Amino acid sequence: MRHLMSPLDFSPQELNELFDLATDMEQNPEKYQDSCKRKILATCFYEPSTRTRLSFEAAMLKLGGNVIGFSDAASSSASKGESVSDTIQIISSYADICAMRHPKEGAPMVASSISSIPVINAGDGGHQHPTQTLTDLLTIRSLKGRLDNFTIGLCGDLKFGRTVHSLIHALMRYPNIQFVFISPDELKIPDYLVDLLREKNIPYKEVIKLDDVLPSLDLLYMTRVQKERFFNEEDYVRLKDFYILNKEKMKLAKEDMLILHPLPRVNEISVEVDEDPRAAYFKQVQYGVYVRMALIYTLLNKTSKEVL
């Protein structure tokens, strides 16, 4: 039985197969409409979500399966003190697969160590968000036609941003990727990731001003400054509007640069940018459904090769 805790749990070859399957699911949805019939997905969300939870649920419904779950720790028995380990043992009796989001780093990992069904990390604190990374990679592969040879700028909250941490881990495995980290000093990329890049001789630079590097980017991954990760309201207020990508700034960018964002956005991308053909963040949301369909299908012990 396999779980998904980190994007590195799948080899690049396995990811390619997963993305091929996701693309086939996009193009031939009727082929898969009953492929998870009588299977149940549990979505156990101890933290708020719109995209991740609903795209998992939509994915399972499109595969002909059913969904149970909770969207808030307060409405589960966690509010009475039940541990994650006990909860997953209960869920294992009700469902065939579980997607779990938790504010504590490592909570889905703890669940997977005792679970008798596959567990998918749907975001754990400031640590990892592997299914967002699968979404990001499928979007890049579909819109750019490759997952190598580009310069990617990651902008905003690089300290607490789990989507950023997962994406960096995943992209390190592809050739000729250059990273540009754009953040205020207070939200810089964690040292352990910088150490890893140095160890692997992967080129990166850290800058504060977006304008200085925008013309050099093939991809720009914008992120929100996350209010929920700050201990101090004053720091959040000072940093929340540090970056605002608008139409004027987009004049500096390459004509084929893609703008990605895991969403939700607050102010970091002006709505006027939405009509720019380079804005890919709403397309990303759609790819998130296909890749989660492929993931559920694969983890329920069906390999992509059996289908394609």
- Please tell me the distance from the alpha carbon of residue 181 to that of residue 221, in angstroms, as a whole number: 10
Residues 6+ apart with CB under 8 A from 176: 148, 149, 150
Name the catalytic one among 101, 159, 162, 261. 101
> Is 240 designated active site?
no
Q: How far is the CB of 169 from ligand CP (least distance, A)?
A: 16
Which lies closer to ligand CP via its Cβ, residue 35 or residue 288?
Answer: 288
In this chain, which of 32, 262, 296, 298 binds ligand CP, going by CB under 6 A?
262
Active site residue 2: no
Active site residue 104: no
What's the min distance (Å) between Cβ of 275 and ligand CP? 22
Q: Measured from the CB atom, is 132 or 139 closer to ligand CP?
A: 132
> In terms of CB distance, is 142 or 304 closer to ligand CP?
142
Write down the least CB distance from residue 116 to ligand CP, Å: 26
Using the minimum distance from each CB to ligand CP, give the nearer residue, 217 or 260.
260
Q: Which residues pair with 102 in a beta bridge?
A: 124
Whose tokens are 């991954």? That residue is 221
Burial of 211 (0-12, 13-18, 19+ CB in 10 A): exposed
Residue 249 is among the residues annotated as catalytic for this protein: no
Q: CA-to-CA distance for 42 and 94, rounded, in angstroms?
A: 8
CB of 133 to ligand CP, least distance (A): 11
Give the contact letters, 128-147, x = binds to ligand CP (CB under 6 A), - = no. ----x---------------
Q: Which of 51, 173, 229, 254 is catalytic?
A: 51
Question: Contact region for ligand CP (CB under 6 A) — 5-13, 76-84, 234-242, 259-267?
Answer: 259-267
Local structure of residue 257 (DSSP, 8 states): P
Question: Are residues 80 and 255 in contact, defined by beta-carbon separation less than 8 angstroms?
Answer: no
By beta-carbon proximity to ligand CP, the closer residue of 186 and 228 is 228
Which tokens belong to 49?
A: 């979500």
Show Cβ contacts of residue 14 under 8 Å, excluding neighbours closer than 6 positions: none
| Residue from 250, 263, 289, 299 binding ligand CP (CB under 6 A) | 263
Shortest Å distance, C-beta 49 to ligand CP: 3
Residue 126 lies near ligand CP (rule: CB under 6 A): no
User: Among all chains, which residue has been given the structure tokens 């307060």?
Assistant: 74
Give 143-193 as a DSSP string. Answer: HHS-SSSEEEEEES-TTT-HHHHHHHHHHTTSTTEEEEEE--GGGPPPHHH
Amino acid at 49: S
The residues, ordered by sequence, that sit 6+ positions from 212 with a Cβ below 8 Å of its Cβ are: none
List the one residue out of 129, 192, 189 whose CA is nearest residue 160: 189
Of these residues, 43, 52, 131, 163, which one is catalytic? 52
Ramachandran bin of 68, using left for φ above 0, alpha for ψ from -120 to 50, beta for the remaining angles: beta
129 is annotated as an active-site residue:
yes
We find the least distance from the C-beta atom of residue 289 to ligand CP, in angstroms, to be 12
Query: Is the CB of 128 or the CB of 151 nearer to ligand CP?
Result: 128
Residues 15-74 that bind ligand CP (CB under 6 A): 49-52
Q: Known catalytic residues?
A: 51-52, 80, 101, 129
- The footprint of ligand CP (CB under 6 A) covers 49-52, 123, 132, 262-264
